[in-house]
Chains A and B, each alone.
Chain A
Amino acid sequence: MRDVTRVAFLGGIYSNYLALDAAIRAAKARGVDAIWALGDFGAFGPHPDRSVELLREHDIPGIQGNYEESLSSNAEDCHCGYTDPRDNHYAQISYDYTFAKTSAAYKQWMGTLPKQARLELGDQRLLLCHGSPRQINEFLWESNTPTPFIDRMLDANDADLIVCTHTGIHWQRRDDRGRGVVNVGALGRPANDGRTNVWFAILTSGPHGVQTEFVPVEYDHERLAREMTEEGLPDEFVETIRTGWWTTCLEILPAKERARGQF
Chain B
Amino acid sequence: MSQLVQIAPLAPAEGTFPAVPMLGLDTLWFQVAGTICNLECTHCFISCSPTNHAHAMMTLDQVTSYLAEAKRLGVREYYFTGGEPFMNKSIFEMFEAALAQGPTSVLTNGVLIKDKTAERLQALSDASDYSFDVRISVDGYGPEDNDPVRGAGTFDRIVEGIAALARVGLNPVITVTEVCGEAGTRAGRTRFIELLRSLGLAQPRLKILPLLRIGAEEQRARGYHKWESLAGAHLTGDELAALQCSSCRIACASGVFVCPILIDAPGARMGDTLEATLRPFPLEYSACFTCHAEGLSCAT
Contacts and interface: CB of A to CB of B under 8 A. Distances in A.
Interface of A: 84-85, 134, 141-149, 151-153, 155, 250-251, 254-259, 261, 263
18 contacts: A85-B189, A141-B131, A144-B130, A145-B76, A146-B102, A147-B101, A148-B74, A149-B75, A149-B76, A149-B102, A152-B24, A255-B131, A255-B132, A255-B133, A259-B169, A259-B171, A261-B203, A263-B203
Interface of B: 24, 26, 70-77, 101-103, 125, 129-133, 169, 171, 186, 189, 203, 205-206
B193 to A, nearest CB: 9
Best-surrounded residue of B71, B77, B131 (most CB of chain A within 10 A): B131
A254 B169 CA distance: 15
Contacts of B203: 250, 258-259, 261, 263
Given A148-B74, A149-B75, A152-B74, A256 B131 contact: yes
Contacts of A151: 74
B102 A148 contact: yes
A152 B24 CA distance: 10
Nearest to A156: B24
Contacts of B70: 148
Given A146-B76, A146-B101, 8 more contacts: A141-B131, A146-B77, A148-B73, A148-B102, A149-B76, A250-B203, A259-B171, A259-B203
B71 A143 contact: no
B77 A144 contact: yes
Contacts, number: 64
Contacts of A254: 103, 131, 133
Contact of A143 (B24, B74, B131, B206): B131
A33 B42 CA distance: 64
A52 B26 CA distance: 36
B275 to A, nearest CB: 14
Given A255-B132, A259-B171, A144 B76 contact: yes
Nearest to B102: A146
Contacts of A256: 130-131
**Which of A143, A255, A256, A263 counts the most B-chain CB atoms under 10 A from its CB?**
A255
Given A143-B130, A146-B102, A251-B205, A152 B77 contact: no
Nearest to B25: A152
A261 B73 CA distance: 33
A73 to B, nearest CB: 14
B64 to A, nearest CB: 15
Given A143-B103, A259-B169, A263-B203, A148 B71 contact: yes
A67 to B, nearest CB: 19
Contacts of B74: 148-149, 151-153, 155
Contacts of A142: 129
B182 to A, nearest CB: 14
Contacts of B206: 84
Nearest to A134: B24
B73 A146 contact: no
Nearest to B132: A255
Contacts of A257: 131
Contacts of B101: 146-148
Contacts of B189: 85
A145 B129 CA distance: 10
Nearest to A141: B131
A144 B75 CA distance: 11
A149 B75 CA distance: 6
Nearest to B241: A135
A141 B76 CA distance: 12
B241 to A, nearest CB: 9
The 10 A-B residue pairs with the shortest CB-CB distance, nearest first, are A152-B74, A146-B102, A254-B131, A255-B131, A143-B131, A149-B76, A144-B103, A148-B74, A256-B131, A148-B71
Contacts of B132: 255
A153 B103 CA distance: 17
Contacts of A149: 26, 74-76, 102
